[in-house]
Amino acid sequence: MTTPPNAATTTGTDRDTILRADGVTMRFGGLTAVRGVDLTVGSGEIVGLIGPNGAGKTTFFNCLTGLYVPTEGTVSYRGTRLSRKPHLVTQAGVARTFQNIRLFANMTVLENVLVGRHTRTKEGLWSALLRGPGFKKAERTSEQRAMELLEFTGLAHKRDHLARNLPYGEQRKLEIARALASEPGLLLLDEPTAGMNPQETRATQDLVLAIRAQGTAVLVIEHDMRFIFNLCDRVAVLVQGQKLIEGTADVVQADDRVIAAYLGTPLDDDTPDAPHTAPPTDTDGTPADGTPAADPAPDATAPADPPAQGHTGDTP
C-alpha cells in the first residue's frame, strides 16, 4: 500500500508515532462521553480499544475522524492536526469503518469500493461529466485497484452484487475494502467482527494482519476479547469515558480493574457524571439528545444511505 500523497509530514513528534490524541474530551450537554483520553498509534502497529457498552469508544473514533469536534484536546496524524472535516481526515490518510455499517445499499460491491477511492483521484467534476481521456484512464486505474481490494478482502466474486444483498459478514468486509480504497496509513475499525461467525472472525483476524503487513496501522474497537488479544500489540481500556489502563495483552488481561469494569463495578474516582452503561442508540453521527454535533455531515466514506441490511450493530 502506498503512502497517501496528502499525508502530512512528521514534525517534532516521535518518528514512529502516526496518530496522537492528547486529552480528548467529548461532552454532550451534561454527559461526558470521553474524558481526557490520550492515545497513540505507531506506524505498523495494531492497537485495540476495548471497554464495556457505552464506554465512549465509538465517540472517541468520531472525535478522531472529524465527525465530532472534541470539546477539549487535540488529534494529530503524522505530526499535523487533523481537520474537522471527515473527508479531509480521510484524505490525510486516516480511514474508518462504522459500527453501524454504512454502505451504499443500492450500489454494487465494486461501486462501493470505487466511491472509497474518490479522495485519491484527481479527476474533477467536468472531466467526469465529459468523460475525457484523463477521466477514462483514471477510471480504469481506480477499477483495477478496486478489484485488487476485492480480491484482498475475498469479495471479488461478488463484484456485481448489490451491497444490500450481501450477508452481514461480507458487508463488514466490504466496508473494510472501501476504507482501504482511500489508501490509508491508519485504518480505524469499529467492531469489525460484530455479527460474524467464528470462521468469519478468524478470517477477519487474518485480514487485519495482512493490512498491517501492507504498511497500514490499525486501531480496532472490538468486544471479542480473543480477537483483540490475539491480534493487538497494545490494548487500551476505556471505562466511563476514561482510559483505565493501556498495555500489552498480558498486562491488560492480568489487571483486576478491567474485569471489574466489565462486571459493572463503578470506577473508584470522583467522576461527576452518572455512569452511562446503557447501550447507545445511534452514536455514529446523530446526537441522541439533539445536541448539535460538530460536523455530522457524512463524506463519501460515510454515506447517508441507511444501513444496507436491517441490523443495529450497536450491541455485540
Ligand X SMILES: Nc1ncnc2c1ncn2[C@@H]1O[C@H](COP(=O)(O)OP(=O)(O)OP(=O)(O)O)[C@@H](O)[C@H]1O
Q: Which residues bind ligand X (CB under 6 A)?
A: 28, 31, 33, 51, 53-59, 99, 276, 279-280, 283, 287-289, 291, 293, 314-315
Q: Which is nearer to ligand X, 25 or 58 (CB)?
A: 58
| Contact (Cβ atoms closer than 8 angstroms) between residue 48 and residue 308 | no
- Residue 313 CA to residue 316 CA, distance in Å, equals 7
Q: In what order do the strands lie in the sheet with 80-81?
A: 31-42, 17-28, 72-77, 80-81
- Residue 134 CA to residue 128 CA, distance in Å, equals 9
Q: Which is nearer to ligand X, 160 or 289 (CB)?
A: 289
28 binds, among Mg ion, ligand X, none (CB under 5 to 8 A by kind): ligand X
- Residues in the interface with Mg ion (CB under 5 A) total 3
CA 43 to chain CA centroid, Å, is: 16
Closest distance of CB 283 from Mg ion, Å: 6
| Contact (Cβ atoms closer than 8 angstroms) between residue 179 and residue 153 | no
Q: Which is nearer to ligand X, 31 or 267 (CB)?
A: 31
- Residue 300 CA to residue 5 CA, distance in Å, equals 19
Q: Which residue is nearest to Mg ion (CB)?
A: 58
Of 150, 144, 85, 152, the C-alpha closest to 119 is 85
Closest distance of CB 313 from Mg ion, Å: 9
Closest distance of CB 229 from ligand X, Å: 17
**58 is a contact residue toward Mg ion (CB under 5 A):** yes
| Contact (Cβ atoms closer than 8 angstroms) between residue 280 and residue 54 | yes
90-119 positions binding Mg ion, by CB under 5 A: 99
Q: Which is nearer to ligand X, 42 or 287 (CB)?
A: 287
Q: Which is nearer to ligand X, 69 or 210 (CB)?
A: 69
279 binds, among Mg ion, ligand X, none (CB under 5 to 8 A by kind): ligand X
Report residue 59: phi and psi, to 5°: -60, -40
Report residue 314: phi and psi, to 5°: -85, -30
Cell of 248: 500489552
Closest distance of CB 313 from ligand X, Å: 8
192-251 positions binding Mg ion, by CB under 5 A: none
- Residue 134 CA to residue 203 CA, distance in Å, equals 38
Closest distance of CB 291 from ligand X, Å: 5
Closest distance of CB 315 from ligand X, Å: 6
Q: Is the dihedral of CA 85, 128, 105, 165 positive or negative?
A: negative
Q: Which is nearer to ligand X, 135 or 168 (CB)?
A: 168
Residues near Mg ion (CB under 5 A) are: 57-58, 99
